């Protein structure tokens, strides 16, 4: 009978593929949950960051005894910031060497590290890990794809992980839309997998469900407004404008409210909502969300809001305001007590 395989005490996940780093962390957490139960695993999970914790905090966390389970998980985010000079680096490595078998320490590093090829020395953390050996330290490089070809291969693997599959044309279409943004790509893969079900994801699915570049999410913005989270709504608007052209954001907002007005009118008349949304080419998976958000407004309120949009656009066309100012004025209108949509 062979001896049990040693379980690493330290896990180093590094690279700029933020989606896959998250997946590897999730797998470690899942394995611990399978052994101890989800509730106990959550109780024995601790996340630390150099922004808010010291090296003393890290040492205390890794040496703490697990509570009612065999092993606890310490998740250190961007830990290299704890080791900016020779003295702090030496202390950081001593802490790593002290990690007991009752702790799994994950070092979550969002950058590529030099692996020491072509006669270059390896990054000091990788050099230390090689000295420790794979039985004690598990190392996984997770670089993001550099081009569309690499992204297509990434998408094929991501789809397999989700129990789905792409046609080659669909993977190429999605790669052209999301670039090498793996976090967004993973979200789109999951959405497409749910939509396609057991069949392969097609280019038509990608066209129907995915917008190129970063798509402003007007749903999320209005949910914040309706919940009375005014400051969050302002921050989200700034994010929309930072990630996209103001004209495109404005056009998306206009289309969104036109669609909500059409949906609310159909609700008031008892008309076939699915048929109305089909004329706007809204995919079936989004029908419920449009219906719920439209119901948060009265029909008169949406008509008044549409008149407000028309007036703001007229002012823009007369060069009285910019589109950024029009969007800010719209948010002021939406967050006023008398015009704010009802909470969900």
How far apart CA 154 and CA 147 sit, in angstroms, is: 11
- The tens digit of pLDDT for each residue in 192-210 reads 998 998 899 998 898 888 8
Mean pLDDT value across the chain:
86
The larger pLDDT score, comparing residue 140 to residue 116, is at: 140
Torsion on CA atoms 215, 220, 225, 230, rounded to nearest 10 = -80
Residue 38: C-alpha distances to residues 32, 34, 169 (Å):
8, 7, 39
Pick the CATH number of 218-335 from 1.10.1740.10, 1.20.272.10, 1.20.810.10, 3.30.540.10: 1.20.272.10
pLDDT tens digits for range 140-192: 999 989 887 889 999 999 999 889 999 999 998 888 778 788 888 998 999 99
Which residue(s) pair with 139 in the sheet? 12
Average pLDDT (339-343) is 60
Residue 212: pLDDT over 60: no
The maximal CA–CA distance of the chain, rounded, in angstroms, is: 84
Label residues 255-291 b or e (16+ Cβ within 10 Å = b).
Answer: ebbebbbbbbebeeeeeebeebbeeeebeeeebeebb
Question: What is the C-alpha to C-alpha distance for residues 330 and 314, in angstroms, rounded to an integer?
Answer: 13
* Angle in degrees, CA 24, 30, 32, rounded to 5: 110
DSSP assignment string, 291-305: HHHHTTS-HHHHHHH
3-state DSSP assignment of residue 95? helix
Instruction: Answer for the pair 178, 51: CB distance below 8 angstroms, yes or no.
Output: no
* In contact, 104 and 71? CB cutoff 8 Å: yes
Length of the chain: 344
Query: Topology of 148-209 in CATH?
Result: Helicase, Ruva Protein; domain 3 (1.10.8)
pLDDT tens by residue, 265-287: 998 988 888 888 877 767 666 67
* Cβ–Cβ < 8 Å for 297, 305: yes
Convert the pLDDT of each residue in 51-105 to its tens digit. 899 999 999 999 999 999 999 999 999 999 999 999 999 999 999 999 999 999 9
Q: What pLDDT shows up at residue 97?
A: 97
CATH of domain 10-141: 3.40.50.300
Instruction: Say whether pLDDT at 339 is over 90.
Output: no
pTM: 0.60
Pick the range with the lowest mean pLDDT from 97-106, 134-143, 204-213, 310-319: 204-213
Q: Are strands 45-48 and 137-141 parallel, antiparallel or unpaired?
A: unpaired
Q: What is the pLDDT of residues 233-270, one digit of tens each?
A: 788 888 778 776 788 778 878 888 888 899 999 989 88
Grouping H, G, I as helix, E, B as strand and the rest as coil, residue 27 is helix
Per-residue buried b or exposed e for 5-35, using 16+ beta carbons within 10 Å of the residue's own CB: eeebbbbbbbbbbbbbbbbbbeebbeebbee
Going from N- to C-terminal start, the domains of the chain cover 10-141, 148-209, 218-335
3-class SS string, 157-174: HHHHHCCCCECHHHHHHH
Contacts of 308 (CB under 8 A, 6+ apart): 330, 333
User: Could you write out the DSSP letters of every residue in 308-333?
Assistant: HHHHHHHHHHTTSS-HHHHHHHHHHH
Predicted pLDDT at 342: 60
Statement: residue 2 has pLDDT above 60: no
The answer to whether 28 touches 104, Cβ cutoff 8 Å, is yes
Cα angle at 42 between 35 and 7, to 5 degrees?
A: 40
- The whole-number pLDDT of residue 123 equals 95
For residue 113, give every residue at least 6 positions away whose Cβ sits within 8 Å of its Cβ, in sequence order, or none. Answer: 14, 122, 123, 125, 126, 141
């Amino acid at each position: 009978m062979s001896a049990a395989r040693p379980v690493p005490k330290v896990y180093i996940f590094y690279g700029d593929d933020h989606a896959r780093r998250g997946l590897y962390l999730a797998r470690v957490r899942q394995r611990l949950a399978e052994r101890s139960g989800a509730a106990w695993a959550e109780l024995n999970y601790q996340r630390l960051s150099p922004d808010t914790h010291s090296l003393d905090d890290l040492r205390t966390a890794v040496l703490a005894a697990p509570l009612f389970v065999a092993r606890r998980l310490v998740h250190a985010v961007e830990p290299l910031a704890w080791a900016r000079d020779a003295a702090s680096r030496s202390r950081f490595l001593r802490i790593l060497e002290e990690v007991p078998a009752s702790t799994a320490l994950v070092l979550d590093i969002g950058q590529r590290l030099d692996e020491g090829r072509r006669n270059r020395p390896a990054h000091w953390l990788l050099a230390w890990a090689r000295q420790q050996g794979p039985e004690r330290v598990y190392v996984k490089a997770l670089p993001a794809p550099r081009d569309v070809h690499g992204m297509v291969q990434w998408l094929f693997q991501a789809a397999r992980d989700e129990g789905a599959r792409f046609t080659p044309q669909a993977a190429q279409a999605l790669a052209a839309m999301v670039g090498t943004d793996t976090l967004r790509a993973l979200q789109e893969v999951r959405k497409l997998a749910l939509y396609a079900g057991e069949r392969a994801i097609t280019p038509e699915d990608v066209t129907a469900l995915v917008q190129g570049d970063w798509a402003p999410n007007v749903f999320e913005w209005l949910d914040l407004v309706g919940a009375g989270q005014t400051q969050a709504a302002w921050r989200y608007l700034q994010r929309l404008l930072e990630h996209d052209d103001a004209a495109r954001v404005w056009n998306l907002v206009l289309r969104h409210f036109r669609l909500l007005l059409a949906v609310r009118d159909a609700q008031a008349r008892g008309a076939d909502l699915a048929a109305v949304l089909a004329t706007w080419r809204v995919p079936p998976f989004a029908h419920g969300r449009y219906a719920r958000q439209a119901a948060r407004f009265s029909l008169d309120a949406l008509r008044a809001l549409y008149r407000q949009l028309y007036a703001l656009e007229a002012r823009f066309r007369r060069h009285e305001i910019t589109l950024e100012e029009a969007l800010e004025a719209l948010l002021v209108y939406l967050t006023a007590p008398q015009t704010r949509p009802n909470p969900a």
